[in-house]
Amino acid sequence: MYSIVVRAHAMIAHSLPGEFFGRAQNLHGATFVIDAEFETEALDPHNVVIDIGLATEVLNGAAARINYRNLDEHEALGGAITTAEFLARYLHDEIRAELGSRFRGRLAVTLHESHLASARYRGALS
């Protein structure tokens, strides 16, 4: 299996309602480092997994849709509880939609909340 990883970041505000989330119930900020790992069984005719420029452009576009936003008010998120796990899936789906048929393989999106914790969603793009 081959893979490449590109990185972006997003600074967001949100709250996580319910006592389950403790102090995170209140509106707070977070800065996520976002990794997008593209995986394929074989290299394409150019001997790459995906063009790194394209991968970076698409990841940056997806990250820009949440960057500097209060996710509690983000119309595309529909009032969802915006945990890191949820956002990893959201970004995965945004990247998948943007790439369309330009990439066949798997994508893992990892949101690093800190150097101690991260959440990942992995799925096929084809």
pLDDT digits (tens, 9 = 90+) for 62-80: 999 999 999 999 999 999 9
Instruction: Taking residues 108-112, report their average pLDDT.
Output: 98
Given a cut of 80, is residue 126 above it in pLDDT?
Answer: no
The number of domains in the chain is 1
Measured distance CA(109)–CA(124) in Å, rounded: 11
Given a cut of 90, is residue 91 above it in pLDDT?
Answer: yes
Given a cut of 90, is residue 30 above it in pLDDT?
Answer: yes
Would you call 69 helix, strand, or coil by DSSP? strand
Given the DSSP bridges, would you call strands 69-70 and 2-14 parallel, antiparallel or unpaired? parallel
pLDDT at 125: 81
Instruction: Taking residues 21-39, report their average pLDDT.
Output: 96
Which residue range(s) make up the domain with 63?
2-124
Measured distance CA(85)–CA(110) in Å, rounded: 9
Measured distance CA(70)–CA(101) in Å, rounded: 32
Would you call 10 helix, strand, or coil by DSSP? strand
Percent of residues, the chain, with pLDDT higher than 70: 99
- Phi, psi torsion values for 101, nearest 5 degrees: -90, 10
What are 26's two structure tokens? Answer: 């209140």
pLDDT at 124: 87
End-to-end CA distance of the chain: 16
Residue with tokens 């998948």: 96
pLDDT digits (tens, 9 = 90+) for 41-67: 999 999 999 999 999 999 999 999 999
* Neighbouring C-alpha atoms within 13 Å toward the C-beta of 114: 4
Domain CATH for 75: 3.30.479.10
* Stated pTM of the model: 0.95
